[in-house]
Amino acid sequence: MSYEFAWLDYRNSVAAGAGDYLKKIACTGFEIASEADKNILFSAEQELMRAAKEINGQQSTVLKDEVTSEGISVVLSDAPGLKTGGFKIMITGPKITIEASDASGILYGVFRAITLIRTGKTSDGQIAESPASPIRMLDHWDNPDGSIERGYSGRSFFFKNDHLYVDDRTREYARLVASVGINAVAINNVNVNDIATGLVSGYDRKELTEIAKIFGDYGIKLYISLNFASPMSLGATDTADPLDSKVAQWWKEAADGLYRDIPELGGFLVKADSEGRPGPFSYDRTHADGANMLARALAPHNGLLIWRCFVYNCQQDWRDHTMDRARACYDNFIGLDGQFDDNVILQIKNGPMDFQVREPVSPLFGGLKKTNMMVEFQIAQEYTGQQRDICYLIPMFKQVLDFKTYNGDGEGVLCDIVTGKGSKQTCGMVAVSNTGDDPNWTGHDLAGANLYGFGRLAFNPALTSEEIADEWSRLTFCNDDTVADGVTKMLMMSWPTYEKYTSPLGIGWMISPGHHYGPDIEGYEFSPWGTYHRSDRNGLGVERGKTGTKMIDQYNEPVRSLYESIETCPDELVLFFHRLSYDHVLKSGKTVIEHIYDSHFEGVQDVNEMIGIWRSLADKVDGVRFGRVNDRLDGQLMNAREWRDRINTYYYRHSGVPDKQGRKIY
Ligand code: GCV
């Protein structure tokens, strides 16, 4: 399928006079680089040439080791004070100098400089930036048959017909995500099927090597998701017990073989003992036993083993009120703190449940003290509108990063843990990717802001959500204030809007089983998945405080007390932590039932407001993209109405409380 260039379409957005900078391009110091780095430097040069050609309509040549008084000068040298990937940009009149001490810093500096030029931010001055998160990763849940688990933008561009697939789009993808600083990508689903299991032992090795090479040209390390039981599934052993020497030896040989062909491989990503996947529990071993065995196979090659903490019992009995899925991640891992090897990183979902529109932060971040950690976000909008409804997730991610863990390490916010400001430097941020082979990469055009924003945020968490939205809009649509303001307004209201018309006050779920789009209030209520709201005529919610499952005790003080008391627990999370009656008065002054009615009516109004904003931009956005977004907004309005009417009716029927304002409830 054909593809567009998203925010890298240099023909779209060009500030007045931008092309002048690109008339002269000079590169200095590139010859000292290693072979691998030379490829990254080459990508940086190519990018400048491409910008020059698309913006000026004519080719530029790259001058080597020349000092120029105007244009762009790229210098690879020992720039002090920059971390790996860091860069400095100095702008003086007609000259822009980009300086870095490593190849990826040059590449990121070049992309940044092109953005500044395109958005007209070229007044004299200096910027110095180094990436905050050492690992800035995208996880693709792509399957060998080309389907994508929780994919909402077409099919995989990594796999087709049970094989890896490499074409121009592979390079365009690498370019796109490298432009926002992504430096690690896992290409296959964490639910690894039989075919993908073979990737570790030679299946499609040629294509795998090619993908790694293309990624390498853009400073990206390739990761493979693996099946914990691979040696068994491939018929080499009769066990996958991590303490069995035959198993460990099999993994060592598999890793040696992979690194022989792909020396730049990043490592492995593993989902074990989760939702039916095999894992160490089958052998009475711990997750540290499982992770360390694999990590030791990778260690001689400096590979990393990324181990997911999404481990819970999905065969729960809904009748049993003592079990609480929200406890599981912490309970399964807290006892293992300090037992993981140095090249193991635990990948922890941002919340204790599963990427809901509103969840508290996972208490595991505040619990672990001696373990490497990454935070896992999901920009594939599984529970947040599936790229049919707009939901700009960057404000949510920022709230998570700003959460005070009180774990006694670093300055205390979650962001410190994942940016190496605490005692552990092997860390990072990862997002489940929202891409597919749709021409615009993300299905909904505005979902591109989440892909762009995640990368920008992982590189520089100090950016505001508005800054990211404004920049993305200018690069993607056009460098126009009215469009940027309108799109930013829509994006900024989209998460609160989605929250208003879906499940209330942090309780989550209520989605259609299986595909997870649209409302089904009791869809998971009597299922084994552990996601209950227990609504009845008296109220709703799962009590997770001292009189309930005690999940709140997993937080450090003072967060624990804050959540334990209904008086201090923030309204937006109060039904996550507590069971309340419909007439309970929230801090907002409204009762629970009034909040449910009001927020659902408001949610639909907000969608209408977004539609109005978008339609006001009709003559400023190109017709194709205008029409695509317009169609999706019509669908979003229908979805919002459906949620509003089902939720309001359900709670009216349960509570018997009429709406004070007499609005239509069915
Ligand atoms: C890849 C949720 C999703 C699953 C996903 C899982 C995970 O349960 O619905 O599709 O599986 O999370 O994160 O492993």
Residue 535's pLDDT band, with cuts at 50, 70 and 90, is very high
Cβ-based neighbours of 43, under 8 Å, separated by 6 or more: 107, 175, 178, 217, 218
- Averaged pLDDT of the chain: 96
Q: Which tokens belong to 628?
A: 């695509």
The residue to mutate among 139, 140, 141, 187, having the most atoms of ligand 1 within 8 angstroms of its beta carbon, is 141
Question: Does the C-beta of 191 come closer than 6 Å to ligand 1?
Answer: yes
Q: Which residue has the higher pLDDT, 620 or 19?
A: 620
Q: How far apart are the CA of 581 and the centre of ligand 1, in A?
A: 32
pLDDT of residue 12: 83
Q: How far apart are the CA of 308 and the centre of ligand 1, in A?
A: 11
Q: Which SS3 state, helix, strand or coil, does residue 4 take?
A: coil
Residue 410 pLDDT exceeds 70: no
Beta-strand pair 159-160/62-64? unpaired
Residue 411's pLDDT band, with cuts at 50, 70 and 90, is low
Structure confidence by residue, pLDDT tens digits, 562-583: 999 999 999 999 999 999 999 9
Q: Which tokens belong to 15?
A: 């500030």
Question: Does the C-beta of 355 come closer than 6 Å to ligand 1?
Answer: no
Residue 583 neighbours by CB distance under 10 Å: 13
- What is the per-residue DSSP string for 78-116? --TT--TT-EEEEEETTEEEEEESSHHHHHHHHHHHHHH
Peptide bond between residue 558 and the one before it cis (omega within 30 degrees of 0): yes
How far lies 494's CA from each of 249, 603, 653, in Å?
51, 10, 29
Question: Does the C-beta of 271 come closer than 6 Å to ligand 1?
Answer: yes
Question: Does the C-beta of 193 come closer than 6 Å to ligand 1?
Answer: no
Q: Exposed (0-12), middle (13-18) or buried (19+): which is 481, by Cβ within 10 Å?
A: exposed
Alpha-carbon span 503 to 531, nearest angstrom? 12
Q: How far apart are the CA of 378 and the centre of ligand 1, in A?
A: 10
Residue 186 neighbours by CB distance under 10 Å: 26
Question: Does the C-beta of 354 come closer than 6 Å to ligand 1?
Answer: yes
Residue 32's pLDDT band, with cuts at 50, 70 and 90, is confident
106 contacts 219 by C-beta, under 8 angstroms: no
Cite the DSSP H helix spans in 343-476: 364-367, 394-401, 414-418, 448-459, 465-476
Q: Which atom of ligand 1 is nearest to the CA of 149?
A: 10
CA-based max dimension of the chain:
79
Q: Exposed (0-12), middle (13-18) or buried (19+): which is 16, by Cβ within 10 Å?
A: exposed
Structure confidence by residue, pLDDT tens digits, 338-361: 999 999 999 999 999 999 999 999
Q: Of 486, 470, 472, 515, give the one whose Cα is nearest residue 380.
A: 515
pLDDT of residue 59: 84
36 contacts 100 by C-beta, under 8 angstroms: no
Structure confidence by residue, pLDDT tens digits, 62-80: 888 887 889 999 999 988 8
Q: How far apart are the CA of 404 and the centre of ligand 1, in A?
A: 27
Q: What are phi and psi of 535, to 5 degrees?
A: -70, 140
The residue to mutate among 353, 354, 376, having the most atoms of ligand 1 within 8 angstroms of its beta carbon, is 354
Q: Which SS3 state, helix, strand or coil, does residue 591 take?
A: strand
The residue to mutate among 275, 325, 377, 524, having the most atoms of ligand 1 within 8 angstroms of its beta carbon, is 275
465 contacts 388 by C-beta, under 8 angstroms: no
Residue with tokens 């993305």: 472
Residue 169 amino acid letter? R
Secondary structure of 112-168 as H, E, C letters? HHHHHHHCCCCCCEEEEECCCCCEEEEECCECCCCCECCCCCCCCCCEECCEECCCH
H or E element: which one contains 377?
A: strand 373-378
Beta-strand pair 87-92/125-129? antiparallel
Q: Which atom of ligand 1 is nearest to the CA of 274?
A: 14
Residue 17's pLDDT band, with cuts at 50, 70 and 90, is confident
Q: How far apart are the CA of 525 and the centre of ligand 1, in A?
A: 18
**Its pTM surpasses 0.85:** yes
Q: Of 345, 340, 334, give the one whose Cα is nearest residue 307.
A: 345
DSSP state letter for 413: B
525 contacts 425 by C-beta, under 8 angstroms: no
Residue 43 pLDDT exceeds 70: yes
Residue 53 amino acid letter? K
Residue with tokens 């391009």: 25
Alpha-carbon span 46 to 634, nearest angstrom? 41
Residue 13 pLDDT exceeds 80: no
Domains of the chain: 6-129 (3.30.379.10), 135-464 (3.20.20.80), 477-542+579-666 (3.90.1330.10), 543-573 (no CATH)
Alpha-carbon span 419 to 429, nearest angstrom? 8
pLDDT of residue 58: 84
Among all residues, which ones are annotated catalytic? 275, 354, 382
Structure confidence by residue, pLDDT tens digits, 422-481: 889 999 999 999 999 999 999 999 999 999 999 999 999 999 999 999 999 999 999 999
Mean pLDDT of 369-398: 98
Percent of the chain with pLDDT over 90: 93
Mean pLDDT of 400-429: 91
Question: Does the C-beta of 140 come closer than 6 Å to ligand 1?
Answer: no
Cβ-based neighbours of 308, under 8 Å, separated by 6 or more: 190, 269, 270, 271, 272, 274, 346, 347, 376
How far lies 63's CA from each of 30, 217, 225, 415, in Å?
12, 21, 42, 41
Q: For ligand 1, atom 11, which residue shows the shortest CA distance?
A: 191
Q: For ligand 1, atom 13, which residue shows the shortest CA distance?
A: 310
Q: How far apart are the CA of 527 and the centre of ligand 1, in A?
A: 16
Q: Which residues of 61-99 are buried (b: 16+ CB within 10 A; e: fewer)?
A: ebeeeeeeeebbbbbbeebeebeebbbbbbbeeebbbbb
Mean pLDDT of 631-645: 98
Q: Of 99, 122, 126, give the one whose Cα is nearest residue 27.
A: 99
Q: Which tokens belong to 240?
A: 């996958």
Q: How far apart are the CA of 521 and the centre of ligand 1, in A?
A: 20
Residue with tokens 């792909």: 262
Q: What are phi and psi of 319, to 5 degrees?
A: -75, -20
Alpha-carbon span 247 to 390, nearest angstrom? 46
Cβ-based neighbours of 97, under 8 Å, separated by 6 or more: 72, 73, 74, 75, 88, 89, 90
